[in-house]
Amino acid sequence: MKRSGWQWLAASSLLIGAIAAGGETRPRYGGTLRIEMSAAPASLDPAEGNVPDSFGRRNITALIFDTLVKFDDAARPEPVLADSWQAAGQELRLHLRRDVKFHDGSAMTPESVAASLRLENPAWKVTAEPESVSIQNDLAEDGLLAELALPRNAIVKRDSGKLNGTGPFRIVDWKAGERLSLAADENCWRGRPFLDAIEIEMGKSYRDQMTALQLGRADLVEIAAGQVRHTDQRSMASSKPIELIALWFAKGPSSPEENALRSTLSLSVDRTAIRDVLLQGTGETAGSILPNWMSGYGFVFSAKADLVRARQLRGQISPAPSWKIGYSPDDPLDRLLAERIALNARDAGLFLQTTSTPSADLRIAHLPLESGPWSSLGQIADQIGAPLAKEHGSLEELYAAERTVLASGRIIPLLQLPVSYAAFAGLQNWAVRPDATLNLENAWMESGAQ
Partner 1 sequence: MFGRLFLAVLGLAIGAHATDWSVPEQELAQKVVALTGKAPISLSFENRSSLRRRDAEIIENGLRGSLAAMGPRVVENDASAITVAISLSENVTSYVWVAQVQRTGSEMAVAMVQIPRGAGVSSTRESVPLTLRKSLLWSQAEPILDVAVLEENARLAVLSPERVSVYRIRGGGSQLETSAQISHPRAWPRDLRGRILATKDHLLDVYLPGVVCHSSAIGTFSLNCQQESVAWPLMIAGPGAAGPGSQAMVGAYFEPSRNFFTGVETAPGGWLKIVPQFYSAALISRDKDVVWLFAAVDGRVHMVEGTMDRLTNLKWGSDFTAIRTSCGAGWQVLATSPAESATDSVRAYEIPERDPVPVSEAVDFSGPISALWTEARGDSAVAVMKNTETGNYEAFRLAVACGQ
**Interface residue list for partner 1 (CB under 8 A):** 7-11, 15, 17, 19-29, 74-75, 99, 186-194, 292-297, 299-300, 373, 394-396, 399, 441-442, 446-448
Distances (CA, A) of 22 to 37, 115, 236: 30, 49, 20
Helices 256-268 and 307-315, axial angle in degrees (round to 10): 160
Exposed/middle/buried for residue 271 (C-beta within 10 Å: 0-12, 13-18, 19+): buried
CB of 339 to partner 1, least distance (A): 33
Q: How does strand 438-439 pair with strand 420-423?
A: unpaired
CB of 365 to partner 1, least distance (A): 24
The neighbour count for residue 402, using CB atoms within 10 Å, is 24
Beta bridge partners of 66: 155
CB of 421 to partner 1, least distance (A): 19
CB of 72 to partner 1, least distance (A): 10
Based on CB atoms, which residue is closest to partner 1, 277 or 300? 300
The neighbour count for residue 239, using CB atoms within 10 Å, is 24
CB of 321 to partner 1, least distance (A): 24
DSSP 151: G
CB of 305 to partner 1, least distance (A): 18
What are phi and psi for residue 402, nearest 5 degrees?
Answer: -65, -40
Q: Where are the beta strands (DSSP E) in 293-333?
A: 322-326
Taking phi over 0 as left and psi of -120 to 50 as alpha, with beta for the rest, 253 belongs to beta
CB of 293 to partner 1, least distance (A): 6
Based on CB atoms, which residue is closest to partner 1, 51 or 96? 96
Helices 373-384 and 141-148, axial angle in degrees (round to 10): 70
Based on CB atoms, which residue is closest to partner 1, 357 or 394? 394
Distance CA 180, CA 49 (A): 20
Q: Could you tell me if 361 and 342 are in contact, meaning their C-beta atoms sit under 8 angstroms apart?
A: no
Based on CB atoms, which residue is closest to partner 1, 75 or 274? 75
Cis (ω within 30 of 0) for the bond into 253? no
Based on CB atoms, which residue is closest to partner 1, 19 or 88? 19
Alpha carbons within 13 angstroms on the beta-carbon side of residue 410 total: 17
Distance CA 362, CA 251 (A): 8
Q: What is the CA radius of gyration of the chain?
A: 23
CB of 68 to partner 1, least distance (A): 18
CB of 287 to partner 1, least distance (A): 13
3-state SS assignment for residue 274: helix
Based on CB atoms, which residue is closest to partner 1, 201 or 446? 446
Based on CB atoms, which residue is closest to partner 1, 71 or 206? 71
Taking phi over 0 as left and psi of -120 to 50 as alpha, with beta for the rest, 373 belongs to alpha
CB of 397 to partner 1, least distance (A): 11
Based on CB atoms, which residue is closest to partner 1, 126 or 432? 432
Based on CB atoms, which residue is closest to partner 1, 282 or 428? 428
Based on CB atoms, which residue is closest to partner 1, 17 or 52? 17
DSSP 287: S
DSSP 437: -
CB of 29 to partner 1, least distance (A): 5
Based on CB atoms, which residue is closest to partner 1, 126 or 438? 438
